[in-house]
Amino acid sequence: MCSLFTRPRCIWPDLPKEPDMRPIPFLTAILVTAVLYLAVFERDRLLAFARGATAQEVTEPAGAAEGESGSGAVAQAVAEVRSVGVVALRSQARTIDSAVRLRGETQAIRKVAVRAETTGAVISEPLRKGAFVKTGDLLCELDPGTRAASLKQARAALAEAQARVPESEAALEEAKAVLEEAQINYTAAKELKKGGYAAETTLLGRAAGVRGAEAAIASAKAGLEATHSGIEAAQAAVAAAEREIDLLTITAPFDGLLESDAAELGSLLQPGSLCAEVIQLDPIKVVGYVAETEVARVTRDAQAGARLATGETVAGRVTFLSRSADPTTRTFEVEITVPNPDLTLRDGQTADIAISAEGALAHKVPQSALTLNNEGRLGVRVVEPGDVVGFMPVKLLRDDIDGVWLGGLPERADIIVVGQDFVTKGVHVAPTYREAAQ
C-alpha cells in the first residue's frame, strides 16, 4: 500500500499512453523549409529543371543575380540554358520639352477689403456682390453729422489768424524805428561826452534806450512768429475737417468685382469696419510651389501653362520667382500671370502647372515597361549585345496617356516591354523586336 510520501504514481495509477505524434510535424517543417529554400535561393536552377535541362545544367549556376557583374563560368552556364522569349522595343531618343510640373491654384491679381476710416451711419443704397465697379465708384456714403460746421469753424479761425499778420508786422516795424532812433541818440550822446558837453548819466540813459528798443523788436518778432504758428494750426484744423468730410465717401480703389455686399443702409461703421470687398481678376495669377531640386530650371518670363480642374487650359508667363524658400516645405513660390479678359477664371481654382524648361533627350515607352532592380531603383531592362539582359536606371520626365518619357538612357536602346519581369540581368533571351513607331 502506498503512502502520501511515496512516488506520485503510487497516488495516481498508470493510465494508458497515447501514441507519440511529434515526428509528423517535424517532417512537415523540414519539407516546407526545403521547398522555400528551393523557391528563394535555387530559383534559377528550379526553373532550369522545369524547362527540361540536364542534371549537369541544373547543378551549375543558372544566371547572375540582379546587380552582379558575373564571371565567365556563370555566363557560360547561362548560355547553356534555354533562352527566354521577350519582346523588345527598338527606341530612338527624341528631344522633348522637359517642363517643370507642379500643382497650384489661381489667385486674384488684387484683393482688397475696403474699410471705413471714420465713424458714421451709412446713408447710401448698398451694392450687391458680383457687381462690377470702376475706380472711384461709390461703395458707401456716411452721414456727415456736424462735420460741415466744424469745417466752417476751422476756416473762421484761419481767417482770424491771418488777420493778425498785418498788426504783428506793424508792431515789428515800429520797434525797428524806435531802435534806430535810440541808436542815433546814443551815438550823439557819446560824441558830446567826448567833448565834455554831456554828462555820463545822459550817455547811460541813451544806452538803456537802445537796449529797450532791441527788446521791443525781439518781442515783436515773437508776436509775428506766434501769429504765423496760429495760421498753420488753423490751416491744419481746416485740412483735418476737410479730410473728415472726404472720408465720408468710400469709393472703389480699382476696377473689379464686389466679392461681398456693400454695407447695408443705416448700419453704423467705425474705423476698421468693412464696407465691401473688391477683387480684380484681369489679369489673374496662377501660384504654385516648385521644389528646390527643380528651382534652377525655372526662369522669369518663361512660358508656362496650366490645366484647371474643369479641364480648361490657360497660358501665360512667369512673373515672379521667390528667392526665399518656405521654411516648412523647402519650396519656392512661383507666380504665372495669365490674361483673363472675359473673367471666366475664378480665384482659388486648382491647377496643374507646366513651366517650359530646357529640352532633353528622352525615350517614350509603355508605363508597364518600368521595373525595379534588387536595390529598389526604378529603371528598364534592355537587350544588350549577345542577347543578354541588362538593367538601366531611368528618370521619369513626363507621363502621357499612351506612355511615359524616360531620361538617362543612351540615344538608341532595345527596351524590353514584354517579359521584363521574368528575366534578370545577365540572362540570355530570344528577343522579338518591334519599332517604336508601332
pLDDT digits (tens, 9 = 90+) for 177-227: 888 888 888 788 777 777 776 677 777 787 888 888 888 888 888 888 888
In which band, very low, low, confident or very high, does the pLDDT at 66 lie, cut at 50, 70 and 90? very low
Reduce the DSSP state of residue 123 to 3 states and report it.
coil
In which band, very low, low, confident or very high, does the pLDDT at 64 lie, cut at 50, 70 and 90? very low
Alpha carbons 85 and 101: distance in angstroms, whole number? 38
Find where cell 541544373 sits.
58
pLDDT tens-place string over residues 312-337: 999 999 999 999 999 999 999 999 99
Whether the per-residue pLDDT at 54 is higher than 70: the answer is no
Whether the per-residue pLDDT at 55 is higher than 60: the answer is no
Whether the per-residue pLDDT at 250 is higher than 50: the answer is yes
In which band, very low, low, confident or very high, does the pLDDT at 95 lie, cut at 50, 70 and 90? confident
DSSP state of 423: -
* Cell numbers linked to 186: 546814443
pLDDT of residue 26: 66
Alpha carbons 341 and 290: distance in angstroms, whole number? 28
Residue type, 130: G
- Give me the percent of the chain exceeding a pLDDT of 90: 43
CATH assignment, 85-97+360-435: 2.40.420.20
* Cell numbers linked to 438: 508601332
pLDDT of residue 132: 92
CATH for the 278-355 domain, from 2.60.40.10, 3.40.50.620, 3.30.160.160, 2.40.30.170: 2.40.30.170
pLDDT of residue 2: 47
In sequence order, the β-bridge partners of residue 428 are 388
pLDDT of residue 284: 94
- Give me the percent of the chain exceeding a pLDDT of 70: 83
58 half-sphere exposure, CB direction, 13 A CA radius: 11
Indicate the pTM of the whole model: 0.54
Torsion angle of the four alpha carbons 392, 393, 395, 400, in this order, in degrees rounded to the nearest 10 = 60
The better pLDDT of the pair 71, 197 is held by: 197
Arithmetic mean of pLDDT, 423-429 = 89
Residues 61 and 73 sit within 8 Å (Cβ to Cβ): yes
pLDDT of residue 70: 44
Q: Please write down the HEC assignment for all residues of 326-386.
A: CCCCCEEEEEEEECCCCCCCCCCCEEEEEECCCCEEEEEECHHHCEECCCCCEEEEEEECC
Q: What residue spans define the domains of the chain? A: 85-97+360-435, 115-142+248-274, 147-246, 278-355
Whether the per-residue pLDDT at 358 is higher than 50: the answer is yes
Closest to 420 in 3D by CA, of 364, 378, 371, 386: 371
pLDDT of residue 1: 44
CATH assignment, 115-142+248-274: 2.40.50.100
pLDDT of residue 43: 67
Whether the per-residue pLDDT at 65 is higher than 80: the answer is no
Arithmetic mean of pLDDT, 91-114 = 88
The gap from C-alpha 113 to its chain's centroid, in whole angstroms, comes to 22
Question: Which is it for the CA torsion 101, 107, 108, 110, positive or negative?
Answer: negative
Q: Output the furthest CA–CA distance in the chain (Å, rounded).
A: 173
Residues 293 and 313 sit within 8 Å (Cβ to Cβ): no
User: 186 CB contacts (<8 Å, ≥6 apart)?
Assistant: 203, 206, 207, 209, 210
- How many residues are there in the chain? 438
Strand order in the sheet with 395-400: 94-96, 360-365, 403-407, 395-400
Question: Which of 32-46, 85-99, 288-302 is predicted with the least confidence, judged by mean pLDDT?
Answer: 32-46
How does the average pLDDT of the chain come out, rounded?
82
